[in-house]
Structure 1
Amino acid sequence: MENTYLLSVIKQLNYFKSLADQTFERLTDEELNWQFSKEINSIATIAKHISGNMLSRWTNMFTEDGEKIWRERDTEFEHEFLSKDNLKSIWKKGWDCFFEAINALTDEDLERIIHIRNEPHRVVDAINRQMAHYPYHIGQIVLIGIQIKGADWQSLSIPKGASDSFNEAKFKDAKS
């Protein structure tokens, strides 16, 4: 794959995926299933939804609508207790489907029309739609993890109060 846009999509979404992966690793089964209230989804529920979306959108995207008849979106939001191993298996299945579809695309494919809920989208627009959707939910996953761990949370980026030392280390070396 030589397309810089697709390479950027893969790089960016691998980064966001890694934030969720690191959050999963820091939490117990009970914490992954914790809900602040019945109206707010648990990390497990959010991850289940992202995976369901990926499987629906990226399976047979050129021959079937992106909202598959077999998808039961509403059940993705039903709270069910998932072990960390089960959650990671569901998560992996969705991401594998997404990356397999993206890696198979050609430059010409980006202008092809696919349908999501019977609405036409250029492939590039469908990708952009997901580039907003997945990080939105991953931000929720990380925020819930921070709320659960409180002071025991270790930052996934630059910790509060450490910007100057971080930048000093980054700018010590010549540009690459």
Structure 2
Amino acid sequence: MEHFSPFLSATIDVFEANKKMAERAIEQVSNDGLRTALDEHTNSIAVIMKHVAGNLISRWTDFLTTDGEKPDRNRDGEFEDNFTDRAELLAYWERGWSTLLDSLKSLTPDDLEKTVYIRGDAHMVPLAIQRSLGHTCYHVGQIVQVARIQAGDDWNTLTIPRGQSEQFNQERWGKGKPGK
């Protein structure tokens, strides 16, 4: 299990980077904007956040010993915006992320050899981790996209601004790119 620590460390880093990206996007959206869907067929940022948190809580509570789809999870209810304010939404969001990160940080090398279940389907632990990472990143992308639209001209980019890649490369590496 010599790769356990780098694998788990990299996984945690990617989860944390995505959490931070979503939160930087959310900061740029008004309270009303968080609750506004782009149209009748899409979810608001608040609903996406609620779903992500609910999923993380269900999947990562007692991760190694119980099915990832907990009997008390109300997945359909995750798509209803019933938070009273931003603080309540953010507290639930944080609960989901804390559940995930605490569980990941408690894993041992031997745990990677174990099988866990999600909706009754067997998954080796690394697959379950990657499944959760993919699902979460998918929804973080949605949050960022909707936030970008909601913020309009007031948006502050989360990555290298469009048209500034060469400037970034120059600042990062000076003349030329790595390996040249």
Q: Which TM-score band (shorter chain)?
A: over 0.9
Q: Could you say which residue in structure 2 is the equivalent of 1:136?
A: 138
* In structure 1, C-alpha distance between the alignment counterparts of 2:34 and 2:83, rounded to whole Å: 9
Q: Return the match for 1:4 from 3, 6, 17.
A: 6
**After the TM superposition, which segments of 4 or more aligned residues of structure 1 sit over 4 Å from their partners?**
none
Unaligned runs of 5+ in 2: none
* In structure 2, C-alpha distance between the alignment counterparts of 1:85 and 1:24, rounded to whole Å: 12
* In structure 1, C-alpha distance between the alignment counterparts of 2:14 and 2:104, rounded to whole Å: 13
| RMSD between superposed Cα atoms in Å | 1.8
Q: Could you say which residue in structure 1 is the equivalent of 2:72?
A: 70
Unaligned runs of 5+ in 1: none
Amino acid at match of 1:126: A
* In structure 1, C-alpha distance between the alignment counterparts of 2:83 and 2:132, rounded to whole Å: 26
Per the normalisation by structure 2, the TM-score is 0.92
Q: Could you say which residue in structure 1 is the equivalent of 2:95?
A: 93
Q: Could you say which residue in structure 2 is the equivalent of 1:168?
A: 170
Q: Return the match for 1:59 from 48, 58, 61.
A: 61
How far does the alpha carbon of each residue in 1:108-165 deviate from its partner, in whole angstroms, 9 at most, with x for none?
1012001000111011000010111111000000000111111211100000111010
* In structure 1, C-alpha distance between the alignment counterparts of 2:46 and 2:60, rounded to whole Å: 21
Contact 2:83 2:89 in 1 (8 A): no
Q: Could you say which residue in structure 1 is the equivalent of 2:107?
A: 105
Aligned positions of 1:116-131 closer than 5 A: 116-131=118-133
* In structure 1, C-alpha distance between the alignment counterparts of 2:112 and 2:118, rounded to whole Å: 15
Per the normalisation by structure 1, the TM-score is 0.94
Amino acid at match of 2:70: K
Q: Could you say which residue in structure 2 is the equivalent of 1:29?
A: 31
